[in-house]
Amino acid sequence: MIQAGHARQKAVIYPIQRDQSTGTGMNLTNWIMELAVDGGAPPRQDWNRRVDKSVFAPRFAKWRWPWLNVPDLIEHGGEAFEFPMCDRDPLPRWTFGRTTLLDDAAHPMYPIGSNGASQAILDAECLVESLVSESNEMKALATYESIRRPATAQIVFANRGNGPDQVMQIAEERAPDSFEDIEAVIPRAELESIAARYKQTAGFTREQVNRR
């Protein structure tokens, strides 16, 4: 997959399935074109509104590489839908009696860093472990919330700072007129440090995953 751009304009593109039946070499491809909007944004809950491609396609008209033609992808990519990139402030509590929350019901976050499904899995894992290890279900729910609510709140705040994608913005700010060697713009040690901090916050370090 590829991400290109920066905080105010970004393309996220990845293939889903190769068409083996026609022999054309065509791929079913998912693409997302992100643009920062100054005013006039759709309502926060408007998640499924068709939009004319002329609204955003001109901004990507020059995004062509020998291995990817973004304007062609947009033109031949079927219908386009517009939705806001947003989150919610962390909740003060998740559990109400014998009912608790997990995943987006508990912590909707700005969609950066592949955390939608990932944090849902970690929520479910923690909830099951708490219920198995604690005979009192109310104490089990309290334990689950005490572990996962602060952990996911950190990710909400980290994603507001562009999460791991901040390296793209750093490159844009330091080399707006392009570059030949990314390590001349962002040294490898800095890249690795940014990645390591986010993995630690999201619970994705090798040690954290192996412990589970």
Residue matched to tokens 């729910």:
141
The pLDDT value recorded for residue 21 is 66
| DSSP bridge pairs for 54 | none
The pLDDT value recorded for residue 114 is 78
State how far the Cα of 177 lies from the Cα of 187, in Å rounded to an integer. Answer: 18
Averages of pLDDT over runs of 10 residues in the chain (212 residues) are 93 84 74 86 70 95 94 93 88 96 94 85 95 96 97 94 92 94 95 93 86 72
The pLDDT value recorded for residue 60 is 97
Residue matched to tokens 């090798």:
206
Residue matched to tokens 């099951």:
128
The half-sphere exposure of 137 on its side-chain side, counting CA atoms within 13 A, is 6
The pLDDT value recorded for residue 103 is 94
Q: CA dihedral defined by 112, 120, 108, 50, rounded to 10 degrees?
A: 70
The pLDDT value recorded for residue 206 is 86
How far is C-alpha 123 from the geometric centre of its chain's CA atoms?
17
Query: What backbone torsions phi and psi does residue 66 show, to the nearest 5 degrees?
Result: -55, -25
The pLDDT value recorded for residue 41 is 61
In the structure encoding, which two tokens stand for residue 76, read together? 């031949």
How far is C-alpha 182 from the geometric centre of its chain's CA atoms?
23
